[in-house]
Amino acid sequence: MSVKVLNPNAEVLNKSAALHMNINAAKGLQDVLKTNLGPKGTIKMLVGGAGDIKLTKDGNTLLKEMVSEFPHQR
């Protein structure tokens, strides 16, 4: 017997709704990251929860600093 432990505050969706939400999240990431690429890429300002500010044009830094949550499937 397997036991699943879920965060009681987690959002549980059916598979198709979770897939749709994950696709939309990936498209959003794509929109943010594509404006960083190339010689005409723009600098992004990241503001942390404590109000600290970081300026970056590095896609890797953006991915590390961004908070991403994915829905659980049932």
Task: Check residue 26 and give its pLDDT.
Answer: 86
Share of the chain above pLDDT 70, in %: 72
| Residue 60 pLDDT class (50, 70, 90 cuts) | confident
Q: What DSSP assignment string belongs to the chain?
A: -------TT--EE-HHHHHHHHHHHHHHHHHHHHTTSSTTPPPEEEE-TTS-EEEE--HHHHHHHS----PEE-
One-letter amino acid at 19 equals L
Between 3 and 17, the more confident residue is 17
Whole-number pLDDT of residue 49 = 81
9 or 29: which leads in pLDDT: 29
Residue 47 has pLDDT above 70, yes or no: yes
What is the value of pTM for the model shown? 0.55
In the numeric block, which tokens belong to residue 10? 């987690």
Q: Has residue 11 got a pLDDT over 80?
A: no
